[in-house]
Amino acid sequence: MTLESDSGYIVATPASAAVTIVDDDAPFANFTGDQSAGEGTTVTLKVVLDGDVQTYPVTIPYTVSGTATNPSDHNAVSGSLEIPSGREGSITFNVVDDGLGDPNETVIFTMGTPTPSSVSVGAHSTHTVTIAEANVDPQVTLSAVQATEPRTLLITGDGTVVVQTTVTDPNPLDTHTYDWSGTNASLVDVLIMIPQPSSSIRQGW
């Protein structure tokens, strides 16, 4: 953009400015979050695109490193994954149960340059799998569904609420029991009233 001269003012320096339009519609490729795995398990990690690609397939090379070694600890090797369509691809490998009391070891995947060139490497370009010899605490998440959609605020009169627990445990031989009886005294209902006509919202535990 350049300013034009006029008798009513003096054009100073600089008299022009340039704006560069960046094509930010190009998708980025990212690994999902790091994870832990027990010995003798099969591990799957994902690569996710944050947008659609004009030209498929998308090929993403990766290298494998870390303190764990192939083949004594795992069978992961450097290579590439292909996303033939959509926004998601995955890598699967096996962890060896060597029966030894090893300290925790890591398998690290590092993303290379994707093709086509319209796909860029995102902020999460590495993924670390920690092989845990000892028993690892499971991760527990709760989710609530009402009116066929996930919700954190439950609306009175919108039907039955289904609360589901999901346990992720890297130790394949562990078993889990679930107590829904409310034996924990800290699990109490909280009623939140919203000042709007003919409605109230209950936030459950």
* Amino acid (1-letter code) at residue 27: P
Bridge partners (DSSP) listed for residue 163 = 144
Overall pTM > 0.75: no
Q: How confident is the model at residue 24 (pLDDT cuts 50, 70, 90)?
A: low
* Amino acid (1-letter code) at residue 51: G
CA distance 141 to 189: 18
**What are the structural domains, with CATH classification, of the chain?**
28-132 (2.60.40.2030), 139-180+188-203 (no CATH)
Q: What is the pLDDT of residues 147-179, one digit of tens each?
A: 888 888 888 888 888 888 888 776 666 777 777
Higher pLDDT, 66 or 154: 66
Hey, CA dihedral for 60, 30, 46, 99, is it positive or negative? Answer: positive
Whether residue 94 contacts residue 72, with contact meaning beta carbons closer than 8 Å, is answered with: no
Q: What is the mean pLDDT of residues 23-33?
A: 84
β-pair type (161-168, 139-146): antiparallel
CA distance 150 to 66: 38
Short-list 182, 48, 52, CA closest to 125: 48
CA distance 81 to 43: 15
The mean of the pLDDT values for the chain is 83
Bridge partners (DSSP) listed for residue 48 = 30, 88
Q: How confident is the model at residue 202 (pLDDT cuts 50, 70, 90)?
A: very low
Q: Spell out the residues 6+ positions from residue 43 whose beta carbon is closer than 8 angstroms to its own.
A: 35, 37, 92, 93, 94, 95, 107, 129
List the beta strands (DSSP E) in 73-119.
79-83, 88-94, 105-111
Q: Spell out the residues 6+ positions from residue 41 whose beta carbon is closer than 8 angstroms to its own.
A: 94, 95, 170, 172
Phi/psi for 12 (5° steps) reads: -85, 180
Higher pLDDT, 190 or 143: 143
Q: What is the pLDDT of residues 68-77, one digit of tens each?
A: 999 999 999 9
Short-list 78, 46, 76, CA closest to 62: 78
